[in-house]
Amino acid sequence: MRQVVHLLSMVGLIAAALCPAGCKQTPSATEAFFSEATVERDTIADVVLMAGQVAATRSQHLTMGTVGGRVLEILAHTGQGVDEGQVLLRLETADLERKLREAEADLTVAAAIVAVAERQAGTADLALAKAQLSSANYETLRAGFNLAVAEAGALQSLRAGVTDARHALTIAEDQLKLTELTSQQSLIRSLEYDQAFHERTLRDLPLGSSDRPLVERLLTEVHRRMEDARGQRAAALQAARDEVDASRRKLRQAEIELARAESGEHDPAISLRLALRQAEAAQEAAQRKVSDLESGLASEELQAAQAAHAAARLTVDTAQMAISAAELKAPFKGTLLAVYTGPGATVQPTDRLFFLADLAELHIQAEVSEIDIPKIAVGQATRISFDALPGKLYSGRVLMLPLQGRGQGGLSFYQVEVSLEAEQADVRLGMLSNVRVVVGERYGVLTVPAAALTYRSAEDIRVRVKSAGGEITEHPVEIGLNDGILAEVLSGLEEGQTVLLPLVAQAQPIGPRPYY
């Protein structure tokens, strides 16, 4: 079907080229600017189009990482293929070798200090350690005694707490009842009497009586005082109720703690048990120190000397590693795409020196808008084309979808990683590509060439239909999927009808991106 449409379009273009510029738009001449196609059933795809760029699946800017210095020699050039572990650059190491010699001298001094400290470890340290052991023994005994006392009286204390909580709840409930009976009650009754008296007096006074303003003021004052009294009563009642609720919560908590202790679920003496374990650990440490000193092992001075010796050894090892790191090696097999330095240059540990990429495995970094990203899923098949390689079509699959996009022009755009699975001999790093993801297909649906559609508005889409007798009429149609070549016809046309395709592209303000 698509090949037929293409052939008819070419025939129409030739006819248009042969038509003189001034020819009149007679019906036959008008038809010369159109090709014909048949409404038929076909398969149509729902496609998302993404613009992308070729990138290496594995690429890296190489730096020295831990050392810097003057470049002695460059052992590889741009465009060269290198193996994993191949040396690419060497730094001058004279300064690093000087630091190594200094570190080795410091290590010799530290070893001599350790020897002296080993000879001086004597009885004073042992006496101090034994005194510390005696103190640790006492703390262990004291912690054990405290734990025994707590375990004996823990349940009794919790039961007393439950009793106290019940008593407090009883007091709070009694106080609530007392508040309900007494709080502001006598004042409110008195004010209600005054209110009734003033309202009756006001009702009995003539409208023009000079006493009415006074009575009205008195009535207003009574209303104000009654509101205050009722507010104070409500506040007192709420405070009493809150106290009852709090007492009930405390009682419930006390009952829970007692039940957990009686069942063995909770240990009320857990803090004291922890203190005993800590005292026992300190006792063991003090005992080990005494044993070590009695065996002639390290005192504090000797430990300090040994620590200094270990630090000197570490400095020597670090200097040796720095000399080894003065050679930059390729971390993986690939091709050098850029060399940023040369012999004699001074570089820092973080300076970029090479750009290495594995060109044997390429992928596409494509961008899609937030409108289309919900349609795409990892593993979906893709078709990839390049403007620089016309006529060639490559396959791939969606490898990765990002969780976050970047804003641009009021929309968010997401970078999607797509594999490039076909032969890549002609594909180069950085090439711009068109990636098409088929997110759905419909089979055996009624279709018409997308070029036959005339968009008068988003809702008004027309197609020119040619009858068997040659009469041309416009039919409104309802369109479903549109992949840029074929459009699904939901209503307005029937299978077998002939439609006209204009040889000049029509404006399509609304519709999906083309798929080809």
Residue 351 shares a structural domain with residue 267:
no
If you ran DSSP here, which 8-state letter would residue 42 be given?
E
Instruction: Tell me which of 176-180, 295-299, 415-419 is least confident.
Output: 295-299
Using DSSP, how many helices (H) and how many strands (E) does the chain show? 8, 21
CA distance 83 to 355: 14
Nearby residues of 80 by Cβ (< 8 Å), 6 or more positions away: 335, 336
pLDDT of residue 503: 74
DSSP, residue by residue, 388-405: TEEEEEEEEEEEE--S--
Of 220, 247, 277, the one marking the end of a domain is 277
Whether 515 is in a domain gets the answer: no
Name the percent of the chain in helix, strand, coil, to the closest 5.
45, 25, 25
Whether 513 is in a domain gets the answer: no
Report the pLDDT averaged over residues 281-299: 76
Whether 406 is in a domain gets the answer: yes
- Is the pLDDT at 11 greater than 60, yes or no? no
Structure tokens at 494: 């029937």
Whether 512 is in a domain gets the answer: no
- Is the pLDDT at 4 greater than 80, yes or no? no
| pTM over 0.75, yes/no | no
pLDDT of residue 38: 93
Residue 19 shares a structural domain with residue 80:
no
Beta bridge partners of 442: 44
- Tell me the percentage of the chain whose pLDDT exceeds 90: 28
- Is the pLDDT at 86 greater than 90, yes or no? yes
- Is the pLDDT at 319 greater than 50, yes or no? yes
Residue 273 shares a structural domain with residue 200:
yes
Asked whether the beta carbons of 162 and 254 are under 8 A apart, the reply is: yes
Per-residue HEC secondary structure of 499-511 comes to EEEECCCCCCCCC
Overall domain count for the chain: 4
pLDDT of residue 9: 40
Residue 340 shares a structural domain with residue 378:
no
Residue 365 shares a structural domain with residue 483:
yes
If you ran DSSP here, which 8-state letter would residue 424 be given?
-
Residue 68 shares a structural domain with residue 156:
no
pLDDT of residue 417: 94
Residue 149 shares a structural domain with residue 231:
yes
pLDDT of residue 299: 63
Rg (CA), the chain: 47
Asked whether the beta carbons of 260 and 266 are under 8 A apart, the reply is: yes
Whether 47 is in a domain gets the answer: yes
- Is the pLDDT at 267 greater than 80, yes or no? no
User: Residue 22: which domain range?
Assistant: 2-57+361-502
pLDDT of residue 83: 93
CA distances from 387 to 201, 436, 483 (A): 101, 14, 19
Give the model's confidence band at 425: pLDDT under 50 very low, under 70 low, under 90 confident, else very high: low
DSSP, residue by residue, 63-132: --SS--EEEEEE---TT-EE-TT-EEEEE--HHHHHHHHHHHHHHHHHHHHHHHHHHH--HHHHHHHHHH
Instruction: Tell me which of 19-23, 96-100, 416-420 is least confident.
Output: 19-23
CATH number at residue 77: 2.40.50.100
Residue whose entry in the numeric block shows the structure tokens 């005292």: 279
pLDDT of residue 514: 38
Phi, psi at residue 61, to the nearest 5°?
A: -85, 125
pLDDT of residue 203: 87
Residue 270 shares a structural domain with residue 138:
yes
Residue 75 shares a structural domain with residue 108:
no
Residue 139 shares a structural domain with residue 266:
yes
Asked whether the beta carbons of 513 and 484 are under 8 A apart, the reply is: yes
Whether 288 is in a domain gets the answer: no
pLDDT of residue 147: 73
If you ran DSSP here, which 8-state letter would residue 484 be given?
S
Residue 456 shares a structural domain with residue 346:
no
In tens, the pLDDT along 177-187 reads 888 888 888 88
CB atoms within 10 A of CB 363: 20
When comparing pLDDT for 247 and 294, which is higher? 247
pLDDT of residue 21: 34
Residue 163 shares a structural domain with residue 105:
no
pLDDT of residue 298: 57
In tens, the pLDDT along 433-460 reads 999 898 878 889 999 998 899 988 878 9
In tens, the pLDDT along 372-410 reads 899 899 999 888 888 888 878 888 999 999 988 888 888
When comparing pLDDT for 153 and 311, which is higher? 311
CATH number at residue 182: 1.20.120
When comparing pLDDT for 114 and 342, which is higher? 342
Whether 202 is in a domain gets the answer: yes
Asked whether the beta carbons of 316 and 107 are under 8 A apart, the reply is: yes
Whether 291 is in a domain gets the answer: no
pLDDT of residue 154: 61
Give the model's confidence band at 513: pLDDT under 50 very low, under 70 low, under 90 confident, else very high: very low
Structure tokens at 228: 């205050």
Residue whose entry in the numeric block shows the structure tokens 């650990």: 281
- Is the pLDDT at 266 greater than 50, yes or no? yes
Give the model's confidence band at 482: pLDDT under 50 very low, under 70 low, under 90 confident, else very high: confident
